[in-house]
């Protein structure tokens, strides 16, 4: 069975996350099903849900642009308890020998060879970090090795792209000054920066910084599905130019040409996004980024145990075994290790 590294999941933020090791009755990902599906490692998100009083409202301009109207973004006081609780769950899984928290080059393959699930700690939205970045040092010491400056809402660092279809990802302003400082400090510390929830202006701000490889951990192709959450051809080209990669998301509304949030979505739809990226910028720049436990997943896949069926769909699309090995594991290892320095 080909081992799979997956670029994004939300398993730690679920109410039943304590049952991850022994198996959960619901959801997409737990340890027994991971073993059954060949899931050997992944990026585990620490996510803060949006309180109702902090929900942004988006104004649509005459040109189709969208900008958030928000009096008070989510602050560190709200986000930190959510993020630290999820981080504690991950560290407890490591303490009990169920996962190995990956902190640097060589550790992904070492965990796989030892038969232990490799886990990368990721902040999905940097609200748990203060604009002065003092907390970033603590998070790095705790094992943080991947960070998305925003989820799909604005914060002190940048403007997240709102969910809309059909629409361009060009939905407002880019990085703030603290956001630029955050990206620079992440590069210095060896923390990969994920652009999946950034709007287009924020993406280009990071691309112009010419630093670490650009990573979109769980995104799709805008030419195939015109969601704001997906990447334009020009963004794909920039990712390749940086030596980065795209983890193709499994979320139905970011895969389908009609943008429908419908689980009746063929596995071939995921394969089509993988193929598009591979053909445009090279197979070395495409990987998998499921969004397990955070989105509607095609019924044909079901959950993490269905990953071999997805690999079969990629074979049917013409990918060779060597290419499958790159898409499933090697590309993530190479890009993350370069980001970690």
Q: Where are the domains of the chain?
A: 4-340
Residue 70: per-residue pLDDT: 53
CATH topology assigned to domain 4-340: TIM Barrel (3.20.20)
Q: 149 and 198 in contact (C-beta within 8 Å)?
A: yes
Please give the pLDDT value at position 61.
Answer: 58
Helices 107-114 and 331-340, axial angle in degrees (round to 10): 130
17 vs 141: CA distance, rounded Å = 23
Encode the chain (341 residues) as per-residue pLDDT tens digits.
899 999 999 999 988 888 999 999 899 999 999 999 999 999 999 988 776 655 665 555 555 556 655 556 777 877 778 889 999 999 999 999 999 999 999 999 999 999 999 999 999 999 999 999 999 999 999 999 999 999 999 999 999 999 999 999 999 899 999 999 999 999 999 999 999 999 999 999 999 997 899 999 999 999 999 999 999 999 999 999 999 999 999 999 999 999 999 999 999 999 999 999 999 999 999 999 999 999 999 999 999 999 999 999 999 999 999 999 999 999 999 999 999 98
Q: What is the pLDDT of residue 17?
A: 87
* Cβ neighbourhood burial of 57 (10 Å; 0-12, 13-18, 19+): exposed
- Token pair for 209: 């910084």
Provide the β-strand partners of residue 192.
Answer: 146
Return the pLDDT at 76.
84
């Amino acid at each position: 069975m080909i081992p799979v590294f997956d670029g994004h999941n939300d398993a730690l933020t679920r109410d039943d996350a304590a049952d991850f090791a022994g198996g959960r009755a619901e959801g997409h990902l737990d340890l027994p099903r991971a073993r059954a599906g060949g899931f050997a490692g992944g990026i585990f998100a620490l996510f803060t849900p949006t309180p109702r009083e902090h929900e942004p409202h988006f104004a649509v301009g005459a040109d189709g642009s969208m900008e958030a109207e928000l009096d008070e973004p989510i602050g560190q006081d709200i986000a930190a308890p959510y993020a630290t609780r999820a981080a504690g769950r991950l560290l407890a899984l490591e303490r009990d020998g169920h996962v190995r928290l990956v902190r640097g080059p060589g550790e992904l393959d070492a965990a796989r060879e030892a038969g232990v699930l490799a886990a990368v700690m990721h902040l999905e939205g940097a609200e748990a970090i203060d604009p002065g970045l003092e907390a970033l040092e603590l998070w790095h010491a705790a094992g943080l090795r991947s960070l998305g400056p925003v989820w799909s809402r604005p914060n002190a660092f940048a403007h997240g792209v709102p969910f809309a279809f059909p629409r361009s990802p060009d939905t407002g302003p880019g990085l703030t000054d603290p956001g630029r400082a955050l990206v620079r400090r992440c590069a210095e510390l060896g923390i990969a920066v994920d652009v999946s929830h950034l709007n287009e202006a924020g993406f280009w701000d990071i691309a112009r910084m010419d630093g670490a490889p650009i990573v979109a951990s769980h995104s799709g192709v805008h030419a195939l599905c015109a969601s704001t959450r997906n990447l334009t051809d020009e963004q794909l080209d920039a990712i390749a130019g940086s030596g980065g990669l795209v983890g193709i998301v499994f979320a139905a509304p970011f895969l389908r040409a009609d943008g429908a949030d419908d689980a009746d979505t063929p596995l071939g739809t995921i394969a089509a996004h993988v193929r598009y990226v591979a053909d445009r910028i090279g197979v070395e720049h495409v990987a998998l980024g499921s969004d397990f436990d955070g989105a509607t997943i095609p019924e044909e896949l079901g959950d993490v145990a269905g990953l071999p069926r997805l690999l079969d769909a990629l074979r049917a699309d013409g990918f060779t075994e060597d290419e499958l090995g790159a898409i499933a594991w090697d590309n993530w290892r190479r890009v993350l290790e370069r980001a970690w320095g």
